[in-house]
Amino acid sequence: MNEFQAKKLGEILAFETLSAQFFEKTKGTLKEKFSEESLNEIIEKNTLRTAKIKEISEINNASEITIPKSEKTIQKLIQMQDKYIGDEWDNPAELLEWLGFFEGAAIVHLKLVEGMAEKIENEELKTLTKEAVESHHDFFHKIGEVMKTSF
């Protein structure tokens, strides 16, 4: 795995990490629109993928690049998130609007890494990213349906 690939791995690690943190933080507000069970399932999947990405990074001797890149990306995403949501953490519409941006960005980053995994013939990473893309894509569509019918 080269430096560019290790950095991209760090970026998807950031999305998975921050996703779990976001849903944990907003579960009380978002359970108005989604079941607590589905929110817990998202958190669990993100947490499992976070651990798997770290493992893949270690196996590929990329942790020294992946982890710092992830930490930098988390900080950028938190800044964008906080700027967008502001003081409206109790407003489901604002949270869902932010999630539209976030999920779309996560999907694009994951697709890049999925293609990268195919190129370097890393089946484990390919499987992980393919599953993550489907998961984020499904939730992105659920957000759209909730937005369309709830407000």
pLDDT, position 91: 96
The total number of structural domains that make up the chain: 1
d(CA 95, CA 30): 8
Paired tokens of 46? 């993100």
pLDDT, position 136: 97
**pLDDT tops 90 at residue 60:** yes
> Residue holding tokens 């991209």?
8
118: nearest Cα among 108, 103, 128, 132: 128
d(CA 30, CA 76): 23
The CA–CA distances, whole Å, from 3 to 9, 105, 133 equal 10, 21, 23
> Residue holding tokens 């560019």?
4
CATH, residue 86: 1.20.1260
**pLDDT tops 90 at residue 124:** yes
**pLDDT tops 90 at residue 129:** yes
pLDDT, position 98: 98
β strands within 48-133, DSSP E: none
pLDDT, position 84: 97
d(CA 137, CA 87): 27
- 106, 136 contact by CB (below 8 A): yes
Span 32-58, pLDDT tens digits: 899 999 999 999 999 999 999 999 999
d(CA 47, CA 120): 25
pLDDT, position 150: 86
Helix (H) or strand (E) holding 121: none
Domain that holds residue 94: 3-150
Q: Report the pLDDT averaged over residues 123-131.
A: 97
Task: Report the percentage of the chain scoring pLDDT > 90.
Answer: 98
Give 92's pLDDT tier (boundaries 50, 70, 90).
very high
**pLDDT tops 90 at residue 151:** no
